[in-house]
Amino acid sequence: MTRFTVVSILPEIVDQALTHGVVGRARTAGGLTVGFVNPRDFTTDRHRSVDDTPYGGGPGMVMKCEPLVAAIESAVAGAPAHRVLLSPVGRPLDQAAVRRLATHEHVVLVCGRSEGIDERVITTAIDEELSLGDFVLTGGELAAACVIDAVARLVPGVLGDAASAEDESFSTALIEYPQYTRPAVFRELPIPEILAGGNHAAIAAWRRRESLRRTARRRPDRFAQHAMSKADDKLAAGLPELDVAARTSVALVHHPVLDRTGAIVTSAVTNLDLHDIARSAATYGLAGYHVVTPVESQRDKAAHIARLWEEEQKEWRARALRLCRPVASIDEAIAALTRDHGHPPLVAATSADPARFPSATRVTPARLVAEIQDAPGVPLLVLFGTGWGLADLEIPAVSRIITPISGRPAWNHLSVRSAVAILLDRLFGLRDP
């Protein structure tokens, strides 16, 4: 049995929200208990005041320590309990947090009101703060009802089918596939034909593919947490939402770039740049790595280094260096991508200087990926400059400038190899849940 105690000055909001439906039936059957403690019952003045004006001035009222802590201690009653404050500044509630809460026998949910609660309550009587999202409610009661509803679904016996608790959005990084029921045609919209065919393996594959597609399109933040299996790779083949990396190439530009005086120069191709950027491109599944230099001997050098690793039969490094494509200019790289994909690429530039490429649209890595997802078949070319950066006025093809990589200090002088690795991870890397 899972037990909740809600500390609130308006307990009826939570109680009525949990009276009906699956959760209401679970409460009636005894599989879930919900109790209430009102901080007003622990006040000593005739007005039963639970809040007061804030120290230091400011708008609104702040909930007081004495009645709130006394109410929490009464709810705990000396037994083990996990005390949670519902707060807009808390950690976002997700399915992992719901599962964790379900492991506690007794959870005390504390609902704030007014402008907030005295910080000393949090210090002395709260184990965790949780938030429903980046918005503000008038109080924590609706959030408490949501928490109880979400946890209740995981209590054995609450749902008729135990699989229902897991086979839904947010039980994994992927969100759920679309669902259909009768009639087979509604307002000239038929159900997907595969769902009526009776081939369960094909239906399962379709559902997995749609789950991948939906997650990539609607929740790229969650898709970045999903490690693709070989089966997923096959299902995802050709989906524009999922093949962004396979349509992306990087170009390491050695001309036109700037020197320290601002003059346009041609820099030298280096062995380290060739190897490390090729390895980054292979790690994130890119289509190619263009080495841009007008100097023929430098292009020959790049091609020679790639061939050496083929001859040495170092497959892991040879695989990376096969992506290396020496070209004489950015325009040549654009022309090659246009031939390969049937569409001219969207060209994005990078720069540590936010003033570069003033006419280009500023985009975050996430926004850039979303834009390519919405443009099926269109390749992406990302330019990185050597020397003191790309000569922006000489590269009119650039239509997007990616927000600079920056840490907390003002100092910002990454090597181009590091910048490529960091940006590719921001574009295509897996994320921790």
Name the pairing type of β-strands 361-363 and 400-402: parallel
pLDDT tens for 29-79 read 888 999 999 999 999 999 999 999 999 999 999 999 999 999 999 999 989
Crossing angle of helices 95-102 and 141-152, rounded to 10°: 70
The confidence score (pLDDT) of residue 407 equals 87
398 has pLDDT over 50: yes
pLDDT tens for 138-195 read 999 999 999 999 999 998 878 765 545 555 555 578 999 999 999 999 999 999 999 9
The confidence score (pLDDT) of residue 163 equals 47
Q: What is the 3-state secondary structure (H, E, C) of the chain?
A: CEEEEEECCCHHHHHHHCCCHHHHHHHHHCCEEEEEECHHHHCCCCCCCCEECCCCCCCCCEECHHHHHHHHHHHHCCCCCEEEEEEEEEEECCHHHHHHHHCCCEEEEEECCCCCECHHHHHHHCCEEEECCCCCCCCCHHHHHHHHHHHHCCCCCCCCCHHHHCCCCCCCCCCCCCCCCCCCEECCEECCHHHHCCCHHHHHHHHHHHHHHHHHHHCHHHHCCCCCCHHHHHHHCCCCCCCCHHHEEEEEECCCEECCCCCEECCCCCHHHHHHHHHHHHHCCCCEEEEECCCHHHHHHHHHHHHHHHHCCCHHHHHHHCCEEEECCHHHHHHHHHHHHCCCCEEEECCCCCCCCCCCEEECHHHHHHHHHCCCCCCEEEEEECCCCECHHHCCCCCEEECCCCCCCCCCCCCHHHHHHHHHHHHHCCCCC
How many domains is the chain partitioned into structurally?
3
The verdict on residue 37 lying in a domain is yes
Q: Do 285 and 338 have their domain in common? A: yes
Q: Do 252 and 311 have their domain in common? A: yes
The confidence score (pLDDT) of residue 170 equals 57
pLDDT tens for 269-294 read 999 999 999 999 999 999 999 999 99
If you average pLDDT over residues 231-245, what whole number do you get?
Answer: 88
Q: Do 211 and 324 have their domain in common? A: no
Q: Do 215 and 251 have their domain in common? A: no
The verdict on residue 175 lying in a domain is no
Nearest to 285 by CA among 256, 230, 322, 245: 245
The confidence score (pLDDT) of residue 67 equals 97
The verdict on residue 174 lying in a domain is no
Q: How far apart are CA 349 and CA 371, in angstroms?
A: 15
Q: Do 229 and 253 have their domain in common? A: no
397 has pLDDT over 70: yes
Predicted structure pTM score: 0.78
Q: Do 219 and 250 have their domain in common? A: no
174, 222 contact by CB (below 8 A): yes
pLDDT tens for 315-372 read 778 889 999 999 999 999 999 999 999 999 999 999 998 899 999 999 999 999 999 9
The verdict on residue 77 lying in a domain is yes
Give the model's confidence band at 243: pLDDT under 50 very low, under 70 low, under 90 confident, else very high. confident
The verdict on residue 177 lying in a domain is no
104, 3 contact by CB (below 8 A): no
The verdict on residue 199 lying in a domain is yes
The confidence score (pLDDT) of residue 236 equals 87
Domain that holds residue 219: 185-236
Q: Do 94 and 130 have their domain in common? A: yes
Nearest to 24 by CA among 131, 158, 192, 201: 158
**Higher model confidence: residue 242 or residue 332?**
332
Q: Do 106 and 230 have their domain in common? A: no
The confidence score (pLDDT) of residue 169 equals 52
The verdict on residue 179 lying in a domain is no
Q: Do 313 and 289 have their domain in common? A: yes
Q: Do 295 and 190 have their domain in common? A: no
Give the model's confidence band at 220: pLDDT under 50 very low, under 70 low, under 90 confident, else very high. confident
Tell me the CATH number at 213: 1.10.1270.20
If you average pLDDT over residues 74-91, what whole number do you get?
Answer: 95
If you average pLDDT over residues 209-237, what whole number do you get?
Answer: 89
Give the model's confidence band at 411: pLDDT under 50 very low, under 70 low, under 90 confident, else very high. confident
The confidence score (pLDDT) of residue 431 equals 82
Q: Do 137 and 251 have their domain in common? A: no
Tell me the CATH number at 254: 3.40.1280.10
pLDDT tens for 99-152 read 999 999 999 999 998 888 999 999 999 999 999 999 999 999 999 999 999 999
24, 148 contact by CB (below 8 A): no
**Higher model confidence: residue 307 or residue 169?**
307
The confidence score (pLDDT) of residue 317 equals 80
Q: Do 413 and 354 have their domain in common? A: yes
